[in-house]
Amino acid sequence: MKPAGAALLTLGCLLLAFPGLVAAEPYIAGFAGLSLTRDRDMEIVQDVAGAELEGTLKGVEFDRSTVFGGKAGYFFNRRVFGGNLGFEYEVYHFRPDINGQTIDFSGTVLGSPTTGTFALGEADISVFTAGLNLLYRIPLARSRRFPRGQVQPYVGVGGGVFFAEFKTQSSNLDQNTDVDDTDVRPGLQGLAGLKFFLSRNVALFGEYKYIHTAEFEFKLKASGTVLGTPATETTTLRGGFTGHHFNAGLALHF
C-alpha cells in the first residue's frame, strides 16, 4: 500500500481502534488553505558525460500552493491550568513547485572553483505528510449550551514523516527526458489556531502552522546523447522545506 493510502487508513481507523476515547472528547476535521515555502539554498552535484559540477544553488524559490488534509484526535476532560491537553493525528498534502529560474551558484566546475549563475529548470514537487501533534486549548465563552466553551484558542507542537516526490527534465542532453525521484524525511511543526462552535458538535476553525523538515536527497538520472554522442546525465539535489501554512476547516466533536 502506498504511504498516502496507509496514512488515510490509519486516520479512518483511529477512533475505532480506541473506543475508550469516547469518554473524553474525540473529533475529526477537514481543512484547506495556503502553503508558503521559504526560499532556501540547495546543494547540487551534476555529472554530464564525465563533466562534473558541484556546489550550492543560492536562494531557490518555491511556488505558493494549496494545502489540504484531514485530522482526528481528542482532548482529555481533565483540566490543566484551566485548559485541556489533547493530541491529534493528521495527514496533509502541498506542492512547493519550482519555476524555471536563474540563480547564483558557488562551487566547482571540472574541479575548478567557480562562482556565477545557474539555470534551474521547472520541477514539480509533491509533499505528503503524516503527523502527530500535542495540543493545549483554553475553553472560552462557556455556557449551558457550550459547556466546553464556544470559543477555543489552541496551540500545539508535533512532528511527522514527510514523503516528497521531485519531477523535472534533464537539461543538458540533446533531447530532454523526464526524470523523478522520491525521498522520505522527518520534520517538526508548530501550530496555533482558534475554533468557533456553531453548535455543540460543529465548529469552524482557522489555523497557522510552521513546518521545518530535514534535508531531502533527490537522485535524478537520464540517458541520451550530447551532440550526437551517447551520454548520461546524473544530478543529485539536497535540500529541505521550511514554510508557513494558513488553513481553515470544519471540525466535528463527539
Q: Determine the pLDDT at residue 224.
A: 86
With beta carbons less than 8 A apart as the criterion, state whether 206 and 8 touch.
no
pLDDT digits (tens, 9 = 90+) for 110-166: 899 999 999 999 999 999 999 999 999 999 999 999 999 999 999 999 999 999 999
Q: Determine the pLDDT at residue 124.
A: 97
Q: Determine the pLDDT at residue 164.
A: 98
d(CA 134, CA 89): 9
7-11, 31-35, 111-115, 148-152: least confident range: 7-11
How is the chain split into domains, by residue range?
A: 3-39+59-214+240-253
Domain 3-39+59-214+240-253 has CATH 2.40.160.20: yes
Per the document, the length of the chain is 254
Between the alpha carbon of residue 184 and those of residues 29, 49, 92, 114, 165, the distances in Å are 25, 29, 15, 32, 9
Gyration radius of the chain's alpha carbons: 23
Q: Determine the pLDDT at residue 196.
A: 98
